[in-house]
Amino acid sequence: MAEDDIEIFINGSSVKVGAGCSVAAALAMASAPGITRRSVSGMLRAPLCGMGICQECRVSIDGRVHRLACQTECAAGMRIVTAQAAA
Protein backbone atom coordinates (compact mmCIF):
# COMPACT_ATOMS: atom_id res chain seq x y z
CA MET A 1 0.00 0.00 0.00
CA ALA A 2 1.46 3.35 -1.05
CA GLU A 3 1.61 6.18 1.44
CA ASP A 4 -1.19 8.12 -0.26
CA ASP A 5 -3.48 5.10 -0.83
CA ILE A 6 -6.90 5.05 0.80
CA GLU A 7 -9.30 2.18 1.52
CA ILE A 8 -12.79 2.17 0.01
CA PHE A 9 -15.41 -0.56 -0.16
CA ILE A 10 -16.95 -1.69 -3.44
CA ASN A 11 -19.95 -4.00 -2.99
CA GLY A 12 -18.64 -4.82 0.47
CA SER A 13 -15.07 -5.67 -0.60
CA SER A 14 -12.12 -3.61 0.57
CA VAL A 15 -10.18 -1.91 -2.25
CA LYS A 16 -7.05 0.25 -2.00
CA VAL A 17 -6.88 3.20 -4.43
CA GLY A 18 -4.68 6.24 -4.81
CA ALA A 19 -5.84 9.46 -3.19
CA GLY A 20 -7.59 11.62 -5.79
CA CYS A 21 -8.86 8.64 -7.80
CA SER A 22 -12.39 8.93 -9.19
CA VAL A 23 -14.96 6.33 -8.22
CA ALA A 24 -15.27 5.33 -11.91
CA ALA A 25 -11.51 4.71 -12.13
CA ALA A 26 -11.60 2.71 -8.89
CA LEU A 27 -14.42 0.56 -10.29
CA ALA A 28 -12.49 -0.07 -13.50
CA MET A 29 -9.34 -1.07 -11.60
CA ALA A 30 -11.20 -3.27 -9.10
CA SER A 31 -13.72 -5.07 -11.26
CA ALA A 32 -13.36 -5.35 -15.01
CA PRO A 33 -15.33 -4.13 -16.89
CA GLY A 34 -16.41 -1.63 -14.23
CA ILE A 35 -20.16 -2.29 -14.33
CA THR A 36 -22.06 0.41 -12.48
CA ARG A 37 -25.78 -0.17 -12.93
CA ARG A 38 -28.55 -1.84 -14.94
CA SER A 39 -30.74 -0.10 -17.50
CA VAL A 40 -34.53 -0.23 -17.18
CA SER A 41 -34.46 -3.27 -19.48
CA GLY A 42 -31.89 -5.01 -17.24
CA MET A 43 -28.78 -4.55 -19.41
CA LEU A 44 -25.50 -3.95 -17.59
CA ARG A 45 -24.10 -0.44 -18.01
CA ALA A 46 -20.65 1.12 -17.44
CA PRO A 47 -19.16 4.63 -17.60
CA LEU A 48 -19.14 6.02 -21.13
CA CYS A 49 -18.41 9.75 -21.41
CA GLY A 50 -16.32 10.31 -18.28
CA MET A 51 -17.67 13.81 -17.74
CA GLY A 52 -21.12 13.31 -16.20
CA ILE A 53 -23.29 13.83 -19.26
CA CYS A 54 -24.28 10.26 -20.17
CA GLN A 55 -25.34 9.29 -16.60
CA GLU A 56 -24.23 5.67 -17.24
CA CYS A 57 -21.90 5.68 -14.23
CA ARG A 58 -24.57 6.10 -11.54
CA VAL A 59 -23.88 4.14 -8.34
CA SER A 60 -24.88 4.32 -4.69
CA ILE A 61 -22.25 5.99 -2.52
CA ASP A 62 -22.60 5.89 1.25
CA GLY A 63 -26.31 5.12 0.88
CA ARG A 64 -27.02 7.96 -1.57
CA VAL A 65 -28.34 6.66 -4.91
CA HIS A 66 -27.65 7.96 -8.42
CA ARG A 67 -24.22 9.43 -7.66
CA LEU A 68 -22.02 9.98 -10.72
CA ALA A 69 -18.94 7.78 -10.35
CA CYS A 70 -16.96 9.73 -12.94
CA GLN A 71 -17.47 13.01 -11.08
CA THR A 72 -16.90 11.74 -7.53
CA GLU A 73 -13.48 11.54 -5.90
CA CYS A 74 -12.86 8.56 -3.64
CA ALA A 75 -12.69 9.28 0.09
CA ALA A 76 -11.36 6.99 2.80
CA GLY A 77 -14.02 4.58 4.02
CA MET A 78 -16.41 5.33 1.14
CA ARG A 79 -18.95 2.57 0.49
CA ILE A 80 -19.92 2.08 -3.14
CA VAL A 81 -22.70 -0.25 -4.33
CA THR A 82 -23.08 -1.15 -8.01
CA ALA A 83 -25.42 -3.31 -10.08
CA GLN A 84 -22.93 -6.16 -9.69
CA ALA A 85 -23.98 -6.45 -6.05
CA ALA A 86 -27.43 -7.53 -7.26
CA ALA A 87 -26.16 -9.67 -10.16
pTM across the whole model: 0.87
* pLDDT band for position 46 (cuts 50, 70, 90): confident
Q: Residues 41-51: what's their mean pLDDT?
A: 89
Q: Residues 3-18: what's their mean pLDDT?
A: 93
Q: Residues 58-73: what's their mean pLDDT?
A: 96
Q: What is the pLDDT of residue 85?
A: 66
Answer yes or no: CATH 3.10.20.30 is held by domain 5-79: yes
- Whether residue 42 is predicted with pLDDT greater than 60 in this model: the reply is yes
Residue by residue, DSSP assigns 29-79 as HHSTT---EE-TTS-EE---SSSSSS-TTEEEETTEEEEEGGG-B--TT-E
Q: For the chain, which residues make up each domain, given as ranges?
A: 5-79
